[in-house]
Chains A and B, each alone.
Chain A
Amino acid sequence: MIHASAIDRFLNTFGSWALALLWGLPLAFAIWTAIHPAEFEANFELLAPLTTVNFVKAWEAAPFARYFLNTFILVTLILACQFFLGTLAAFAFARFQFPGRGILFGLVLLQLLVMPDILIVENYQTMRFFNLVDTIPAIALPYIASGFGIFLLRQTFMTVPKELDEAARLEGASTLGLLWRVYVPLAKPTYLAYGLVSVSHHWNNFLWPLIITNSVETRPVTVGLSVFASTDSGTEWSVINAATLMTSAPLLIGFLLFQRQFVQSFMRAGIK
């Protein structure tokens, strides 16, 4: 019995490690080529000289500083608006009785299925109508009212004890005061979880920004990277890989530092 479980344990450990190494291989390979000179691209010598020249070349070959700034503005804008709109709407759904509640909530949930990602044709025409093509707000607008965010916050607000709500009302708190002083502080873990999911989602988003932007001043890093990797076929692989790592680095480093929070945030956002 004990022997059987020891073998079992060994096989499981072995299998999980084999899969982990396989899963880590592509990234490890990209890192290898990025930190070594081009001639070691496909030539794995343990003592190959290290270099940062690929990163320098990539940084100088395209306006990545600007791309990073654009992405930073974009994700901040989206997150701030999502928090604001989501909090107000979630509060209404969680603690108010009013006509049209069921239908409106259904319409909010519909966005979990019909995402702005697939409505690119019509949304582009809307942006052209508002004369917003090639601006950062145009990238953000379709995403700032998030059905997912409203749903998540509503679930959290519904767990706030009614007694706290009533006590604050008795002390004369207004509707917004109540929301700000009682509900928002109690939902902090949900905001953190949703924030991490949202930031990583919009940092990585590509198709809509590709469509709606066409200048250096508005392009986020993902679009900048694709332009960089495709325009110049003469660019060395090691430089492209360096650029690839550079664009992913902020999220990757954030993930490595706050691994536990990241995983728990995704879990929290998923199971609710």
Chain B
Amino acid sequence: MTRRIEWVHAWLLLLPAMVFLFTFTHLPAVRTIIDSFFSTARGRRKSVFVGLENYQQLIDDPTFWKVLANNLWFALGTIPTSIAIALVMALWVNEKLAGRSFIRMAYFTPTVLPLIAVANIWLFFYTPGFGLFDQIATGLFDTGQHNFLGNPDTALAAVMVVTVWKEAGFFMIFYLAALQTIPPSLLEAARVEGAGRWTIFWRVVFPLLMPTTLFVSVNAVINSFRLVDHLFILTGGGPNNASSLLLFYIYETAFRFWDTAYAATLTVVLLVMLSLLAIGQFFLFDRKVHYK
């Protein structure tokens, strides 16, 4: 009898949170999949079941393949770079170097700025002619004007630089937390054995940081699909979709062209990517990583 009461108490405690979770996360995710099999309602034409028509459109849509490839390059370009920089930052901040708190502040500050504000600041950097980059380039090499954001070859790279700047300090925090849990006696023992700094890092510190690296990687992959705010300011996805990412394309499809069915289909692709990430994480990493 008392067990039943405990059950009811637990369910009542969970109820409010679960209602909101289902309404705004689980149901929308399921409805996204259902909607991808229907057409968009327009005016008096009602939404009807169209089977795989939206998916056929997806396969034939060069813009979709373009933004998917962009997203892949974006992930490959930003994730390893920001993780490597974050690790170096954490190693430095963890040591008792002169001016440590100033250095930590400089590394971490971009994390608290809104991405939209960050984009504004960098837009000024990139401005052809009198932006800081062109001023430095002109001063050093006299190369004339560069339009980094307006050139299809450099637009995505320019956006990636901004992303790395914003994210590295955030990831540094996790490494810093992990570094502080490594027992000093372990490093001392390695030193007594005659191991150099380089050996200690690769043989002792880096393996111990592995769970953190995996945790940060998963977060970074999610962020590479989720963060598109800066595109609105920097490039608007252009020129000619050269810097557009999947979520930005979903936004455009749904809220500029009002084709919600196709936007739902694109969202399904995003959900599939995230599911693959989850499966990969479960099979590859879960054995080795322990979240306390």
Contact = CB atoms under 8 A, between A and B. Distances in A.
B7 A99 contact: yes
B32 A237 contact: no
A20 B277 CA distance: 33
A122 B28 contact: yes
A144 B22 CA distance: 12
Interface string B175-197: 01110000000000000000001
B137 interface: no
B1 interface: no
Interface stretch (B58-66, B71-79, B200-208, B223-231): B223-231
A162 interface: no
A107 B93 CA distance: 37
A262 B125 CA distance: 28
Contact size range, B: 35 or more
Contacts of B26: 107, 110
A180 interface: no
A30 B225 contact: no
B238 interface: no
Interface of B is mostly: helix
A17 B99 contact: yes
A96 B10 contact: yes
A21 interface: yes
Nearest to A240: B120
Given A16-B93, A175-B13, 8 more contacts: A12-B92, A97-B3, A119-B267, A120-B250, A126-B24, A221-B114, A252-B109, A270-B174
CB-based closest 10 A-B pairs: A122-B28, A145-B20, A96-B10, A204-B114, A16-B92, A89-B17, A20-B106, A92-B13, A142-B24, A267-B177
Interface of A: 8-9, 12-13, 15-17, 19-21, 23-24, 26-27, 29-30, 33, 41-42, 84-86, 88-89, 91-93, 96-99, 101, 104, 107-108, 110-111, 113-126, 141-145, 147, 150, 155, 175, 200, 203-204, 206-207, 210-211, 221-222, 225-226, 229-230, 237, 240-241, 244-245, 247-248, 251-252, 255-256, 259, 262-263, 266-267, 270-272
